[in-house]
Amino acid sequence: MNSSQLLGITTFAYLFSAMLYIAIFVFRAKKLGLFATLITVAAFLINTAGIGLRWQESYQAGIGYAPLSNMYESLVFFAWAIAIFYLGLEWKYKNRVLGAFSMPFAFLSMAYASFSPTFGKEIKPLIPALQSNWLIAHVITCFVGYAAFAVACGMGIMYLIKDRKTNAAPDSLLASLPELKVIDDIIHKTLVFGFLWLSAGIITGAVWANSAWGTYWSWDPKETWSLITWFVYAATLHARFTRGWGGRRIAWLAVLGFISVIFTYYGVNFLLSGLHSYGGN
């Protein structure tokens, strides 16, 4: 058994998990609930084992680095972070319909990691700039934040779907979704959590840049986009805290913010050029 096999299984396990949650939502198949959770936990554990094994394999290959250093590895970690964040959310809110709007992100991240031809999956030695413990801190903080924003986006979509038909019959599909007030609360808490981690991600990146190049901020596209994302969420939180925004507007901003996250993460690597180019390999 090697790490690629484990991570391959992870992809399908997340697909299965996402489908189960969607089934729970669409067919109101509440009986599947516990099974869906167990599959998700199992998928998460396989994902964890895959990352751990890849770490070990990198040492066997004589390179030895935390598997957080290229596009493939970051996507795998992104899926991992989404899964654990979602499991925490499910545990806290005791509502599995949330999974139908969260776990697809974990699956998509793994699927993109596994099937995209644009970047390699091999364990490659690290160039000198990447040999830093700040790399680990930077990637973990960023992707925990990104995972929260992915879930917030899912919750935002959920809110907008439910809000479209507030007068739906009580036994309709949408009635199984949490109350708008509750979704709104989840979105807010998730955004707040993500914002703290995004801030930490930008800061650890800056400290790393300073220890490698002597410049903590050089306005390269990746840095700038992470700051744009930060501005978007900062504006969102201010709109809510002090101007009492909520509901649809915050739901839309959660979606908009995540688009900015995706561009920061993906768009900059493949559409723009800059210091972060190694992320694209």
**Subset of 231-250 contacting other proteins (CB under 8 A):** 231-232, 234-235, 238-239, 242-243
4 sits near other proteins (criterion: CB under 8 A): no
Minimum CB separation of residue 137 from other proteins in Å reads 12
Residues in CB range of 49: below 8 A, 6 or more apart: 6
Query: Exposed (0-12), middle (13-18) or buried (19+): which is 212, by Cβ within 10 Å?
Result: middle
228 sits near other proteins (criterion: CB under 8 A): yes
Query: Exposed (0-12), middle (13-18) or buried (19+): which is 127, by Cβ within 10 Å?
Result: exposed
Interface pick for other proteins out of 42, 136, 200, 255 (rule CB under 8 A):
200
What token pair was written down for 70? 């290229």
Site string for other proteins, 120-139 (x = CB under 8 A): ----xx-xxx-xx-x-----
Interface pick for other proteins out of 34, 63, 168, 175 (rule CB under 8 A):
63
Minimum CB separation of residue 94 from other proteins in Å reads 14
Minimum CB separation of residue 92 from other proteins in Å reads 11
26 sits near other proteins (criterion: CB under 8 A): no
CA proximity to 144, closest of 93, 203, 198: 198
207 sits near other proteins (criterion: CB under 8 A): yes
Minimum CB separation of residue 220 from other proteins in Å reads 8
Q: Which stretch binds other proteins (CB under 8 A): 35-43, 46-54, 91-99, 190-198?
A: 190-198
Q: Are 199 and 142 in contact (CB under 8 A)?
A: no
Count residues binding other proteins (CB under 8 A).
Answer: 46
Site string for other proteins, 140-159 (x = CB under 8 A): --------------------
Q: Name which of 212 and 255 has its Cβ closer to other proteins.
A: 212
Q: Which stretch binds other proteins (CB under 8 A): 78-86, 145-153, 162-170, 225-233?
A: 225-233
23 sits near other proteins (criterion: CB under 8 A): no
265 sits near other proteins (criterion: CB under 8 A): no
For binding to other proteins (CB under 8 A), which residues are involved? 62-63, 124-125, 127-129, 131-132, 134, 185, 192-193, 195-196, 199-200, 203, 206-208, 210-217, 219, 221, 224-225, 227-228, 231-232, 234-235, 238-239, 242-243, 268, 272-273
